[in-house]
């Protein structure tokens, strides 16, 4: 008799299609980062790079983090070298971000965000949001609600502090 096992959640392609919280990363410091720990909190997910014309958006991301973290917003940077503009190691990325932009929000390890090698979360976001969920360059932003559902995506040229993004974030946060 064969036993039927439930699908394994995590970084694999078999991860649940129901929520971003089913996925996990490794943090920039090498620790496990299960997105389920952000259940109930909106997440602004941004693929980043240290040597991009948009790299100054790290300052805007830190502004959002400072302004809204106590209301529940998670800013999550996903460094990626898919567009050949990221530093060679997690240690170098972390040092650069902290020294240059005083970044204090969570960051993942360097990950693929495009193509067939994309992290499974990014593959899922592409299926859920279509073009808005697929990074076409560094600093593409996707907002996920507290239930783990993607609600909107913005291209690189839209700054994190743009009214379009801030108003969507504020609608997802508790009032008061």
Q: Which two tokens stand for residue 160?
A: 């994190």
Task: Measure Cα distances from 136 to 47, 115, 132, 141 in Å.
Answer: 10, 10, 9, 11
Question: Is the distance from CB of 64 to CB of 75 less than 8 angstroms?
Answer: yes
For 44, list phi and psi in degrees, rounded to 5: -100, 110
Buried b (16+ CB within 10 A) or exposed e, 10-37: bbeeebbeebbbbbbbeebeeeebebee
DSSP letters for 125-161: HHHHHGGGGS-SSTT-EEEE-TTS-EEEEE-TTS-TT
Q: What is the pTM of this model?
A: 0.90
Chain-centroid distance of CA 61 in Å reads: 11
Structural domains for the chain: 39-172 (3.40.30.10)
DSSP tag of 7: P
Q: Of 118, 123, 94, nearest to 31 (Cα)? A: 94
Q: Give catalytic residues, as residue numbers.
A: 52
Residue by residue, pLDDT tens for the chain (176 residues) are 434 333 334 444 444 568 999 999 999 999 999 999 999 999 999 999 999 999 999 999 999 999 999 999 999 999 999 999 999 999 999 999 999 999 999 999 999 999 999 999 999 999 999 999 999 999 999 999 999 999 999 999 999 999 999 999 999 998 75
């Amino acid at each position: 008799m064969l036993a039927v096992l439930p699908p394994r959640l995590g970084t694999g392609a078999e991860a649940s299609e129901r929520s971003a919280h089913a996925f996990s990363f490794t943090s920039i410091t090498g620790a496990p980062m299960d997105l389920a720990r952000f259940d109930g909190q909106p997440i602004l997910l941004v693929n980043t790079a240290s040597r991009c014309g948009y790299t100054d958006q790290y300052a805007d991301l830190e502004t959002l983090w400072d302004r809204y973290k106590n209301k529940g917003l998670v800013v999550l940077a996903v460094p990626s070298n898919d567009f050949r503009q990221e530093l060679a190691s997690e240690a170098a990325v972390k040092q650069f971000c902290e020294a240059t932009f005083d970044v204090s929000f969570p960051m993942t390890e360097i990950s693929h965000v495009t193509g067939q090698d994309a992290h499974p979360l990014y593959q899922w976001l592409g299926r859920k949001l279509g073009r808005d969920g697929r990074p076409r360059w560094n600093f593409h932003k996707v907002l996920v609600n507290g239930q783990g559902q993607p609600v909107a995506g913005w291209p690189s040229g839209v700054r994190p502090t743009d009214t379009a993004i801030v108003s969507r974030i504020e609608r997802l946060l508790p009032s008061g």
